[in-house]
C-alpha cells in the first residue's frame, strides 16, 4: 500500500512511529495529483510549494512532541470555502482572482492542528449542480469510470479522496453536495446537523441549508474531523453548542427505520435497490438492531421545496457578486452595463437559471404561491421526520437513485438532473445529519452508497451507528 492510500488514523500512527515523514506523505499526494489530475480535473489550484513548507513545519512539530491527530496530514478543500492566501473561486470566472485574506473557521481549526493544505477542489459553480458538469473550469470525472460524472457539487473533493490525492477533504453540502458525490465515488461523506459547524468563510448559496462537512476514506476519519471542526462560533450566529449523544445498544434494541417511499419511487435503479436491501438484510442479523418499516409521506415534496427556497436565497446571496473587485470585469457604457455584462459572462447558465427562479419566487406576484408555500411545506417535512424519530433511532435509505451516470447524459435534462438529489434533499430541508457510506459495487464496478439519517443534533449517534454498519 502506498502511504497516500492510508486513513487519518494510519497516517497519525505512521508519522508518530517515524515510518515516514509529513514531507514524504505530502510528496506522495502531490505525485498522485500530477499523475491523475489532468485526466480527472479534481483540483483547480494546487499549492505545491506552500504545502511542502507546511509539511516541513509539521515534521518539526512531530519531532518536538507536539503532534496532534491531524499534524502533517495533507488535505484538500472545496473551492467555495475560503483559505487564507489561496485562490478561492467557487469554480466561477467572476471570482477567478479572489484570494481571501482569512481562513474559514473550519479551515482555521484544521490548520491549527498542523494539517497540510494541498489544494482547492473543482466543484459545480457556486455549488449549483448534481454532476460537477457545471464548473466553469470543466467537468470532474469519476475515477472508477472517466466517462461518468463524479457527482456534485463537491465532486472534485470526492474524487481527490477516492483517488488518494489527499488523505481527507472538506466540502459543503446544501442539498446533497457532499453525500451524492461520495456515493458516486465510493467514499464517506458526512452532512452534519445544520448549525453544528460554522459557515463563516463559506461562500453562501442558501444560508438556511449550507453545511460544512468532511469527505473521508472511513467513518472513523469523518468522526475525527467532525470533532475538530464542530462548535459554536461568534462569527456565525446560526451555530450552536451541543452535547454528544452516544449510541446505546446494550440496554435496548436500536430501532432503525426503512422509509418505504425511498424504495418505491419511480426511477430507482434496481441494482442499487438490491444492494441496499441486501445490506439491510445483513445488518438485521445483529440481535441489538430492530429493523422496522416507516413512512415519510412528505418526502415527495422535498425537491420542489428545496429548489424554490434555495433559488430564492441564492438570488439574494449572489447579488453581492459583481466582478468589480475580482474576476472577469467587462466594460460597459455605464455602471449598470458593467454589472450586467460581468455577471453574464462570469456566471454559468445554471447559476443564472437559479437566480432567475429565485427572483421570480420572491416577487410580489409569486411570493405567496411559491416561496411562502414552500416554507410551509418545509415545516411539514420537518414535522414528518420529528414524528418518525419518536418511533425509531435512525433511518436507512439509498443515497442516490442510480449509480454515477455518463457525462452529458442529463446535462440538458434539467428536471432529471434535479431528481438525482431526490434522496439527499429531504434531510437537507429538515437540517438533519446524514451520511453516505459505500456498501457495494454494481456489475459495472460502480460504487453504491447507503444513506443513514439521524435526529437533529444527534450526530454522534449517527456516526457511531455508521461505523457499526460499515464494519459489519
Active site residues: 78, 153, 177
Nearest to 100 by CA among 88, 118, 111, 115: 88
- How many Å is the Cα radius of gyration of the chain? 21
422 CB-near residues (< 8 Å, 6+ apart): 265, 302, 303, 401
Nearest to 468 by CA among 294, 284, 292: 284
What's the CA gap between 437 and 464, in Å, rounded?
13
| Phi/psi-derived region of residue 34, left when phi > 0, alpha when psi is between -120 and 50, beta in every other case | alpha
What's the gap between Cα 124 and its chain centre?
12
- DSSP for 352-408 reads HHHHHHHHHHHSTTTIIIIIIHHHHHHHHHHHHHHHHTTT-SEEEEES-SSSPPBTT
The answer to whether 314 and 355 are in contact (CB under 8 A) is yes
3-state secondary structure 55-110: HHHHHHHHHCCCCCCCCCCEEEEECCECECCECCCCCCHHHCCCCCCCCCHHHHHH
Q: How many CA atoms lie within 13 A of 187 on its CB side?
A: 35
How many angstroms separate the most distant Cα atoms in the chain?
73
Beta bridge partners of 46: 119
What's the gap between Cα 367 and its chain centre?
30
For helices 373-388 and 302-317, what crossing angle results, to 10°? 130
What's the CA gap between 253 and 372, in Å, rounded?
41
Beta bridge partners of 449: 438
Q: What's the grid cell of residue 116? A: 497540510
64-100 b/e (C-beta count within 10 Å ≥ 16 → b): eeebbbbbbbbbbbbbbbbbbebbbbbbbbbbbebeb
The CA angle 370-375-376, to the nearest 5 degrees, is 100
Q: What's the grid cell of residue 105? A: 473557521
Amino acid at each position: 500500500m502506498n502511504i497516500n492510500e492510508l486513513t487519518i488514523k494510519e497516517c497519525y500512527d505512521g508519522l508518530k512511529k517515524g515510518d515516514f515523514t509529513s514531507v514524504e506523505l505530502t510528496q506522495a499526494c502531490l505525485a498522485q495529483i500530477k499523475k491523475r489530475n489532468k485526466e480527472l480535473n479534481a483540483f483547480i489550484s494546487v499549492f505545491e510549494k506552500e504545502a511542502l513548507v507546511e509539511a516541513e513545519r509539521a515534521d518539526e512539530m512531530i519531532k518536538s512532541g507536539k503532534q496532534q491527530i491531524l499534524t502533517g496530514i495533507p488535505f484538500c478543500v472545496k473551492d467555495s470555502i475560503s483559505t487564507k492566501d489561496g485562490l478561492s473561486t467557487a469554480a466561477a470566472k467572476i471570482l477567478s482572482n479572489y484570494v481571501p485574506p482569512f481562513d474559514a473557521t473550519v479551515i482555521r481549526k484544521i490548520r491549527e492542528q498542523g494539517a497540510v493544505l494541498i489544494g482547492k477542489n473543482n466543484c459545480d459553480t457556486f455549488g449549483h449542480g448534481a454532476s460537477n458538469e457545471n464548473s466553469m473550469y470543466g467537468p470532474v470525472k469519476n475515477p472508477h469510470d472517466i466517462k461518468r460524472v463524479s457527482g456534485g457539487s463537491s465532486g472534485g473533493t470526492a474524487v481527490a479522496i477516492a483517488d488518494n490525492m489527499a488523505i481527507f477533504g472538506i466540502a459543503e453540502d446544501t442539498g446533497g453536495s457532499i453525500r451524492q458525490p461520495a456515493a458516486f465515488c465510493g467514499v464517506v461523506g458526512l452532512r452534519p446537523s445544520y448549525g453544528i459547524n460554522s459557515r463563516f468563510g463559506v461562500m453562501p448559496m442558501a444560508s438556511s441549508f449550507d453545511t460544512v462537512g468532511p469527505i473521508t476514506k472511513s467513518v472513523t476519519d469523518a468522526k475525527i474531523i467532525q470533532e475538530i471542526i464542530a462548535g459554536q462560533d461568534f462569527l456565525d450566529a446560526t451555530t450552536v453548542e451541543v452535547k454528544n449523544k452516544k449510541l446505546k445498544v446494550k440496554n435496548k434494541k436500536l430501532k432503525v427505520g426503512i422509509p418505504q417511499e425511498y424504495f418505491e419511487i419511480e426511477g430507482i435503479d434496481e441494482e442499487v435497490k438490491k444492494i441496499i436491501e441486501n445490506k439491510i438484510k445483513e445488518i438485521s442479523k445483529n440481535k441489538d438492531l430492530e429493523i422496522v418499516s416507516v413512512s415519510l409521506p412528505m418526502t415527495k415534496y422535498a425537491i420542489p421545496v428545496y429548489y424554490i427556497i434555495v433559488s430564492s436565497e441564492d438570488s439574494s446571496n449572489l447579488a453581492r457578486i459583481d466582478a468589480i473587485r475580482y474576476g472577469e470585469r467587462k466594460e460597459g457604457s455605464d455602471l449598470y452595463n458593467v454589472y450586467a455584462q460581468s455577471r453574464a459572462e462570469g456566471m454559468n447558465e445554471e447559476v443564472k437559471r437559479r437566480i432567475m427562479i429565485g427572483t421570480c419566487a420572491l416577487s410580489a406576484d409569486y411570493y405567496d404561491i411559491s416561496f411562502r408555500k414552500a416554507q410551509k411545506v418545509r415545516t411539514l417535512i420537518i414535522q414528518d421526520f420529528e414524528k418518525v424519530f419518536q418511533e425509531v433511532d435512525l433511518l436507512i435509505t439509498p443515497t442516490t437513485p442510480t449509480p454515477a451516470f455518463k457525462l452529458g447524459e442529463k446535462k440538458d435534462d434539467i428536471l432529471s438532473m434535479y431528481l438525482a438529489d431526490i434522496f439527499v434533499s429531504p434531510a437537507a430541508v429538515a437540517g438533519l445529519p446524514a451520511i453516505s457510506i459505500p456498501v457495494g459495487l454494481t456489475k459495472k464496478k460502480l460504487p453504491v452508497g447507503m444513506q443513514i439519517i439521524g435526529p437533529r443534533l444527534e450526530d454522534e449517534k449517527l456516526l457511531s451507528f455508521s461505523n457499526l454498519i460499515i464494519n459489519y
